């Protein structure tokens, strides 16, 4: 599969490693000239190349966003049209600036992104797991019950099925949090956020979330 990754830091860089290792083609972007990623993509091997954010979006059947949430408005919506977008981002006001619709709960952070990318098939995943655990705890050969859960959300069932399969390939188990409007259940300060748990345990924690 062709996967674009916008954001080449802790989460984006880790996912680039995991996805290329699983046999996928990756286009990796940051906020700058793709030449700044030459060393990183060389280390990833022949399945990875550097791109601009727009090029990574155009390249990917799936496009992961792993950037500071406040930078979402920089993304050009057009190349994301029709793409399965996976939002790994979290809202941290100290870093991202205050966003009134998020503070009030009128929108989830991924809902805000979906409004910016109206023609994309937006999902949420990888936002609850610390990047070092993402790097180290995948167990592709273990049965699902022995794996760490990755909560996912989204309105497009087919997109979530693709995402679930990708998560399985890198050794985790996707747990469905619900629609994008429900994705607050996996945002910061909820029980499942940062929890190192199995799928069954994650399902309980997601249900325990309170606004
Ligand atoms: N760290 C974690 O364990 C963790 C876990 C779950 C979720 N998250 C969330 O995932 C997101 C990324 O976190 P991170 O720790 O991976 O951050 P990070 O290491 O600081 O990396 C951020 C990346 O985003 C790029 N970027 C910034 N603005 C951009 C823009 N306008 N267009 C394209 N790329 C841009 C940066 O590129 P430049 O180098 O060019 O600035 C950098 O490659 C955040 O929303 C974070 O809250 C983090």
**Matching residue, tokens 């991202």:** 96
161's CB contacts (< 8 A; 6+ apart) are: none
CA–CA separation, 153 vs 181, rounded Å?
9
Residue nearest to atom 6 of ligand 1 (CA): 127
Residue 159: which of 73, 71, 83 has the closest Cα? 83
Question: What is the CA(156)–ligand 1 centre distance, in A?
Answer: 25
The pLDDT tens digits for 128-151 are: 999 999 999 999 999 988 999 999
The pLDDT tens digits for 141-182 are: 999 889 999 999 999 999 999 999 999 999 999 999 999 999
At 145 the pLDDT is: 86
The pLDDT tens digits for 109-130 are: 999 999 999 999 999 999 999 9
- The DSSP secondary structure of 82-111, one letter per residue, reads T-EEEE-----HHHH---HHHHTTSS-HHH
Which of 4, 67, 192 to mutate for ligand 1's pocket (most ligand atoms within 8 Å of CB)? 67
Local structure of 64: helix, strand or coil:
strand
The whole domain housing 183 covers 2-208
E strand segments, the chain:
2-6, 25-29, 48-50, 62-65, 84-87, 121-124, 149-154, 173-178
Number of domains within the chain: 1
At 131 the pLDDT is: 98
CA–CA separation, 53 vs 91, rounded Å?
20
- Output the average pLDDT for the chain: 98
CATH number at residue 33: 3.40.50.720
100's CB contacts (< 8 A; 6+ apart) are: 106
């Amino acid at each position: 599969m062709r996967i674009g990754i916008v954001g080449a830091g802790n989460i984006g860089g880790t996912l680039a490693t995991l996805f290329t290792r699983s046999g996928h083609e990756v286009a990796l972007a940051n906020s700058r000239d793709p030449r700044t990623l030459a060393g990183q993509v060389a280390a990833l091997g022949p399945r990875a190349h550097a791109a601009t954010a727009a090029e990574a979006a155009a390249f990917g059947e799936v496009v992961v966003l792993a950037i500071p949430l406040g930078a979402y408005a920089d993304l050009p919506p057009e190349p994301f049209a029709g793409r399965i977008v996976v939002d790994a981002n979290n809202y941290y006001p100290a870093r991202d600036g205050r966003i009134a619709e998020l503070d009030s709960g009128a929108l989830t952070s991924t809902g805000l992104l979906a409004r910016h990318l109206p023609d994309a098939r937006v999902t949420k995943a990888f936002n609850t797991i610390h990047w070092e655990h993402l790097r180290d705890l995948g167990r592709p050969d273990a049965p699902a019950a022995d794996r760490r859960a990755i909560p996912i959300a989204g309105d497009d069932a087919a997109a979530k099925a693709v995402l679930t399969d990708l998560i399985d390939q890198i050794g985790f188990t996707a747990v469905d949090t619900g629609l994008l409007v429900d994705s607050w259940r996996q945002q910061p300060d909820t029980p499942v956020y940062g929890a190192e748990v199995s799928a069954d345990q994650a399902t309980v924690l997601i249900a325990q979330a309170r606004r």
